[in-house]
C-alpha cells in the first residue's frame, strides 16, 4: 500500500460517523486587497449565526490575523508536529470565542514527514471537526506554490478582488495557475468571488461580469459571485484601531455586507464537506501521487 492510499484509509476511518467541518479558503491574487480582513469579519458573522469557528492563519511570515485578532498565540502548528502539543493546545481563543491557529512554517514541512508522523497529525487534525463547524484558512496572496497547495486542497475558495486593474489581472492569473495545477479538480471545487472596496453595489457585479467573461472563455472554470463589500470609512477606522468592523460597528455598511455574504454561504449548506483531515491529506499526500 502506498502512502497516499494509507492516508485515505486513515481519513475514512476518522470520518466514520463524524461531523465534518466546512472549510473555506480565503485568497487573493495580490496583497493589500483586504483578504485577511474578509476572513476575520466572515468568522465573526458566522459566529453570530451560531457557528463554532476557527481561523487557520496560513499566510506565512505575516501576522495579519494575529494583529486584528488581538491575541498572540503561544503555539503554532509546528508545536503540534514537532513538540507533541495537542490540537486544543495550539488553539488561541479570541473575541466571541473564535479560535485561531497560527500555521507558522509547519504546514509546508508536513510533506517531508514519516508515515507515523502523518498518522499522528491527521488524527489530531480530525479533532478540529469536533471543535468547529467552520474552519477559515487565510492563505498568502499571489500564486506561490504554498498558496496553490492550499487552494487545491480546498473545496470552497473565496477569491477577494478589488476594482483595481492589477487586482483583476492578478485574480485571473491565480485562477489560471490553479486550473493548470495537476491535482486541481474543478468538479469538486467551488470558486466564489467577493468584490471588495467598491463604490456602489453594481460596481461589484460589473467587476465579476468582466472577470467571469474571460474566465468562462479561456479557463472554463466554474466561478460564481457572492457579493460586494463597499468602501467604508468606518472599516478603515476599525482597521487602524485593530478591531474588526463587524464587532466595532455592526450597523456599518461593510459589516452589513459581510453579514449578507455569510448568510448566503450558510444557505449553501448542501455543499459536500471535506473536513480538516481530508483538507490536509491533499497537501501532505502530494509527494506520493
CB 198 within 8 A of CB 163: yes
**Residue length of the chain:** 289
Question: Is the pLDDT reported for residue 4 higher than 90?
Answer: no
Residue listed under C-alpha cell 483595481:
164
Residue 6: pLDDT band with limits 50, 70, 90: low
Instruction: Say what the pLDDT of residue 104 is.
Output: 63
Pair 37, 149: CB distance under 8 Å: no
Residue 150's pLDDT is 83
pLDDT at 110: 57
Strand order through the sheet with 53-58: 92-93, 99-102, 53-58, 134-139, 22-27, 156-161, 190-198, 223-230
pLDDT mean over 34-62: 89
Q: Check whether 101 has a pLDDT greater than 50.
A: yes
The model's confidence at residue 164, banded by pLDDT at 50, 70 and 90, is: very high
Looking at residue 72, what is its pLDDT?
78
Q: What is the pLDDT of residue 288?
A: 42
pLDDT band at 149 (very low <50, low <70, confident <90, very high): confident
Higher model confidence: residue 2 or residue 212? Answer: 212
Q: What is the pLDDT of residue 97?
A: 93
Please report the pLDDT score of residue 118 as a whole number. 66
Res. 117 pLDDT band, cuts 50 70 90 = low
Q: How confident is the model at residue 284 (pLDDT cuts 50, 70, 90)?
A: low
Q: Compare 1 and 260 and report the one with higher pLDDT.
A: 260
The reported pLDDT for the residue numbered 287 is 44
For residue 262, pLDDT beyond 60: yes
- Greater confidence (74 vs 17) lies with 74
pLDDT of residue 289: 41
Please give the residue that has the higher pLDDT: either 226 or 279: 226
Residue 58 to residue 2: CA distance in whole angstroms? 28
Distances (CA, A) of 4 to 47, 80, 115, 184, 274: 35, 21, 10, 16, 16
Which of 6-15, 48-57, 118-127 has the least mean pLDDT? 6-15
Mean pLDDT of 74-96: 87
Does 140 have pLDDT greater than 50? yes
The per-residue pLDDT for 146 is: 77
Amino acid at each position: 500500500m502506498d502512502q497516499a492510499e494509507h492516508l485515505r484509509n486513515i481519513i475514512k476511518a476518522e470520518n466514520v460517523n463524524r461531523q465534518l467541518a466546512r472549510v473555506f479558503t480565503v485568497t487573493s491574487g495580490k496583497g493589500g486587497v483586504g483578504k485577511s480582513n474578509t476572513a476575520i469579519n466572515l468568522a465573526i458573522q458566522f459566529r453570530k449565526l451560531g457557528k463554532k469557528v476557527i481561523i487557520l492563519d496560513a499566510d506565512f511570515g505575516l501576522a495579519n490575523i494575529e494583529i486584528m485578532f488581538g491575541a498572540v498565540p503561544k503555539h503554532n502548528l509546528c508545536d503540534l508536529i514537532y513538540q507533541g502539543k495537542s490540537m486544543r493546545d495550539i488553539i488561541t481563543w479570541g473575541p466571541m470565542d473564535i479560535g485561531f491557529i497560527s500555521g507558522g512554517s509547519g504546514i509546508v514541512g508536513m510533506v517531508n514527514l514519516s508515515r507515523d508522523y502523518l498518522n499522528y497529525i491527521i488524527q489530531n487534525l480530525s479533532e478540529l471537526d469536533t471543535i468547529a463547524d467552520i474552519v477559515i484558512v487565510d492563505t498568502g496572496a499571489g500564486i506561490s506554490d504554498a498558496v496553490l497547495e492550499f487552494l487545491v486542497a480546498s473545496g470552497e475558495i473565496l477569491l477577494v478582488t478589488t476594482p483595481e486593474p492589477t487586482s483583476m489581472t492578478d485574480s485571473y492569473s491565480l485562477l489560471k495557475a490553479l486550473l493548470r495545477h495537476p491535482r486541481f479538480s474543478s468538479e469538486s471545487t467551488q470558486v466564489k468571488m467577493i468584490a471588495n472596496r467598491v463604490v456602489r453595489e453594481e460596481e461589484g457585479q460589473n467587476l465579476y461580469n468582466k472577470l467571469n467573461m474571460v474566465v468562462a472563455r479561456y479557463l472554463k472554470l466554474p466561478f460564481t459571485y457572492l457579493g460586494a463589500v463597499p468602501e467604508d470609512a468606518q472599516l478603515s477606522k476599525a482597521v487602524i484601531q485593530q478591531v474588526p468592523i463587524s464587532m466595532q460597528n455592526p450597523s456599518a455598511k461593510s459589516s452589513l455586507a459581510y453579514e449578507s455574504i455569510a448568510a448566503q454561504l450558510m444557505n449553501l449548506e448542501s455543499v459536500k464537506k471535506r473536513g480538516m483531515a481530508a483538507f490536509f491529506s491533499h497537501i501532505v499526500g502530494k509527494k506520493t501521487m
